[in-house]
Amino acid sequence: MEMSELAERVARADRRALARAITLVESGRADHRAAATALLEALGTRRQALRIGLSGTPGVGKSSFIEAFGTMLTGQGLRVAVLAVDPSSARSGGSILGDKTRMERLARDPMAFIRPSPSQTHLGGVARHTREAVALCEAAGFDVVLVETVGVGQSETLVAEMTDIFVLLLAPAGGDELQGVKRGIMEMADLILVNKADGELKSTAMRTCADYAGALRLLRKRPQDPAGFPKAMCVSAVEATGIETAWAEIGSLADWRRESGHFAARRAEQARHWFEEEVRQGLLARLNADPAIRARVEALGTAVAEGRTAPGKAAAEVLAEINGT
């Protein structure tokens, strides 16, 4: 299929074409990368969705929350895309990709689109080309794009480089759990939602929410935040309580940032970040494609592992050879 035809079908919100386009941008083959670039150029950036990043530790209820949140949004007439990044095995490279089975109700919703993707061991919990998948979902006319990231901790902050609002989902717990949340990811969060605020855990969730609210007040004020943000709230994905309030807070924050100019400025910063990241990845790919350099790196790697040379010195030798000095 020609890229112009695929672009036209994506722009018409053809779900099969969108799935095919995302598979294309996720491919690492050189010819597929060239085709993906042509596709994204053809689609342009005329349409824009609200991009929401969602992170949290395993078992906190991210999939349950997204199903309740997404269903609420589609009930309001909004089209929702969910890009769920599954952890890849460091040994085999494989992923389970079971998010659709965990969001059964939302997966059947004609107003929703769920796409699981492998993280491919990418630091930051976000598959390398998730940003391009977001752009494709926007081109397909989705109003809200949710990026669910691998819940592994501080490296999650990379999601902030491709979303407009970053939501951190946490479970009810005591003070020890509060200490376990890394400062880096706390500083990136626009909204902290304490899930499972129902049944016997409700009182614990409210205390946990108060603890996080106190911790947020101790963080340095960010210029992109209006008064009262970032904030912590209680929600229950099971009872669907607090979901609409959380959406209202997200909407008010996004509106304020648009009016104050922070929204457009942040998108511009993100575009520059990903341009530089693509350059870095391209340079690494060229190095790996050179047999002589690859052999030299392997030999020096062995020398470093055996303690015959220092890592810094070995790296300097490789760079000197690349530069021809």
Please write the tens of the pLDDT for every residue from 239-284.
Answer: 999 999 999 999 999 999 999 999 999 999 998 988 888 888 788 8
Q: What is the mean pLDDT of the chain?
A: 85
Could you report the per-residue pLDDT of 198-217, keeping only the tens digit for each?
999 999 999 989 988 888 88
More confident residue, 51 or 158: 51
Nearest of 245, 200, 191 to residue 69 by alpha carbon: 245
For the chain, percent of residues with pLDDT exceeding 90: 52
Question: What pLDDT does 91 receive?
Answer: 42
Lowest-pLDDT choice from 14-18, 58-62, 89-93, 115-119: 89-93
When pLDDT is averaged across residues 60-69 and rounded to a whole number, the result is 91
Given a cut of 70, whether residue 62 has pLDDT beyond it is yes
Q: How far apart are CA 164 and CA 160, in angstroms?
A: 7
- The whole-angstrom separation of Cα 41 and Cα 25 is 12
Per-residue confidence (pLDDT) for residue 93, from 0 to 100: 42
Res 100 pLDDT > 90: no
Q: What is the mean pLDDT of residues 86-104?
A: 52
pLDDT for the residue 88: 45
pLDDT at 322: 82
Domains and CATH numbers, the chain: 1-44 (1.20.5), 45-259 (3.40.50.300), 274-323 (no CATH)
Which residues make Cβ contacts (< 8 Å) with residue 41, sequence separation at least 6? none
pLDDT of residue 90: 37
Q: What pLDDT, on the 0 to 100 scale, is given for residue 186?
A: 77
Across residues 83-92, what is the average pLDDT?
58
Lowest mean pLDDT among 73-77, 99-103, 134-138: 99-103
Q: What is the pLDDT of residue 292?
A: 87
Amino acid symbol at 306: E
